[in-house]
């Protein structure tokens, strides 16, 4: 029997090795046909490394020959694919990285040939656009680590965004608006937790109900009160950009990481704190135990219900921060359905990040990069319909989920109600 299992595993590894090899070779051929044949020889791509209005030290722009780099990306993809088919690799993560890097670099060379493209600006925009996705993903991580699924992130973020701008506009205080967003996010999550933990309502159904309620209620309040009142109820302003002394002067890194508003800094801090709490503290150990084997945790004296309540409510507070980003951290006003599916993309980032705070944040940066890239490419006026460019973040979501679902392993008790 062990011999049969060994043969099965060997066959699966061989199939996986050949699959990645074929995909890499196919990517290399696609790069050559789509970009290599459509990039003119002798044209350079100029990538700006300075951001207007930044405190960072000025450095020369990066100028590279477009066509040779496209050819280089083709060769790298084909070579790595052939190596994968011949020898194989134990880790598939770096293979996915090769696919992404070769394709993106070749695409940028084709899009920027004979033009100037502000690379630092796009990286900074990627971090900004990844923030609400990351906060939604972190909410999902902390909830599902205690085995409670919360797909109501979109509704929570919408409600928090509206409450934030209303409170901030009325009180003339952005910080009171932020606190109100955190409070209402936790309150809505508490209602979801009460339904699924106390009454064992189906967690997906409860999450969908939160989304429907959030979309409907915010649309009603917006059309009935906020639009008719003009700026009286819908003009909160936004948090100012905070430049960190010395660090903001570092070229490229300074404008990207050290010249942002309060919510973006809080997100980065939150990733670090959540990772430490989950993997370096007794509470994190209890949370993961409840998510993996709640009955065993209960026999050891861990209050399963209390642990789940705390984590789901904490996740709601984090989603509330994500909602506040859309208004207090971005545009300073509320518009209907302004979250635009970022809550659902956050769930995809959570899965791609394997229910890990750092992994979820890194995955969010990929989605933020795709979102930022489609905006920059519209400015370059490349020969791709704008409708397809607007679809880029959602296409990336589908591609990632297609490749990840079935391989990512959630907490063992995820979504299962607990009977004491």
pLDDT tens for the 420 residues of the chain, in order: 454 445 555 555 666 678 878 888 999 999 999 999 999 999 999 999 998 888 898 999 999 999 999 999 999 999 998 988 887 766 666 777 788 889 889 998 998 898 888 999 999 999 999 999 999 999 999 999 999 999 999 999 999 999 999 999 999 999 999 999 999 999 999 999 999 999 999 999 999 999 999 999 999 999 988 887 767 789 999 999 999 999 999 999 999 999 999 999 999 999 999 999 999 999 999 999 999 999 999 999 999 999 999 999 999 999 999 999 999 999 999 999 999 889 999 999 999 889 999 999 998 998 898 888 888 877 777 777 777 767 777 777 776 666 655 567 899 999 999 987
Q: Provide the token pair at 401.
A: 């989920």
Q: Is the residue at 420 inside a domain?
A: no
Helix or strand or coil: residue 240? coil
What is the pLDDT, as a whole number, of residue 378? 77
Query: Are residues 106 and 131 part of one domain?
Result: no
Is residue 66 a contact partner of residue 45, using CB atoms and an 8 Å limit?
yes
To the question of pTM greater than 0.85 for the whole model, the response is yes
Q: 233 with 379, same domain?
A: yes
The pLDDT of residue 407: 67
Q: In this predicted structure, what is the pLDDT of residue 409?
A: 85
b/e sequence 243-255, b meaning 16+ C-beta within 10 Å: beeeebbbebebb
Domain match, 148 and 191 both: yes
Looking at 66, 91, 114, the residue that finishes a domain is 114
**pLDDT at residue 385, rounded to an integer:** 76
* pLDDT given at position 405: 54
Q: 80, 61, 64: which is closest to 23 by C-alpha?
A: 80
Is 409 inside any structural domain? Answer: no
Judgement on whether residues 109 and 167 belong to the same structural domain of the protein: no
- The number of distinct structural domains making up the chain is 2
Residue 354 is part of a domain; what is its CATH number?
A: 1.10.3470
Q: What is the pLDDT of residue 365?
A: 92
Residue 63 burial (C-beta neighbours within 10 Å; 0-12, 13-18, 19+): exposed
* CA 238 to chain CA centroid, nearest Å: 22
Enumerate residues 6+ apart whose C-beta is below 8 A from 183.
Answer: 317, 320
Q: Are 179 and 269 within one domain? A: yes
Residue 100 falls inside a structural domain: yes
Is residue 416 situated within a structural domain? no
The residue segments making up the domain with residue 42 are 2-114
User: Do residues 399 and 279 share a domain?
Assistant: yes
């Amino acid at each position: 029997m062990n011999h049969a299992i060994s043969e099965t595993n060997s066959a699966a590894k061989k199939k996986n090795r050949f699959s990645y090899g074929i995909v890499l070779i196919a990517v290399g051929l696609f790069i050559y046909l789509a970009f290599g044949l459509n990039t003119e020889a002798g044209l350079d791509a100029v990538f700006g490394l300075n951001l207007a209005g930044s405190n960072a030290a000025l450095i020369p722009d990066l100028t590279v020959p477009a066509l040779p780099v496209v050819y280089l990306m083709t060769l790298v993809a084909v070579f790595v694919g052939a190596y994968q088919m011949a020898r194989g690799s134990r880790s598939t993560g770096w293979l996915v990285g090769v696919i992404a890097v070769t394709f993106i670099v070749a695409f940028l060379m084709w899009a920027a040939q004979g033009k100037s493209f502000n690379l630092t600006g796009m990286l900074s925009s990627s971090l900004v656009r990844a923030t609400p996705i990351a906060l939604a993903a972190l909410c999902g991580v902390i909830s599902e680590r205690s085995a409670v699924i919360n797909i109501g992130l979109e509704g929570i973020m919408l409600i928090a965004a509206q409450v934030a701008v209303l409170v901030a506009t009325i009180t003339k205080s952005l910080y009171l608006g932020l606190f109100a967003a955190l409070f209402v996010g936790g309150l809505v999550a508490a209602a979801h937790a009460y339904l699924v933990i106390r009454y064992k309502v189906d967690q997906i159904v409860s999450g969908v109900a939160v989304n429907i309620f959030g979309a409907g209620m915010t649309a009603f309040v917006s059309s009935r009160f906020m639009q008719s009142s003009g700026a009286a109820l819908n003009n909160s302003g936004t948090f100012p950009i905070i430049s960190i002394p010395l660090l903001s002067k570092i070229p490229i890194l300074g404008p990207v990481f050290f010249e942002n508003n309060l919510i973006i800094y809080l997100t980065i801090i939150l990733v670090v704190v959540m990772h430490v709490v989950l993997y370096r503290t007794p509470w994190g150990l209890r949370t993961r135990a409840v998510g993996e084997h709640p009955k065993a945790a209960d026999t050891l004296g861990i209050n399963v219900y209390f642990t789940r309540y705390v984590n789901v409510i904490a996740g709601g507070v984090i989603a509330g921060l994500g909602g506040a980003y859309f208004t207090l951290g971005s545009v300073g006003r509320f518009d209907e359905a302004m979250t635009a599916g970022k809550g659902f993309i956050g769930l995809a980032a959570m899965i791609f990040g394997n229910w890990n705070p750092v992994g979820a944040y890194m995955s969010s940066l990929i989605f933020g990069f795709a979102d930022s890239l489609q905006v920059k490419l519209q400015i370059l006026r490349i020969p791709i319909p704008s409708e397809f460019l607007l679809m880029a973040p959602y296409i990336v979501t589908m591609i990632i989920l297609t490749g990840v679902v079935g391989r990512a392993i959630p907490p063992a008790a995820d979504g299962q109600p607990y009977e004491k």
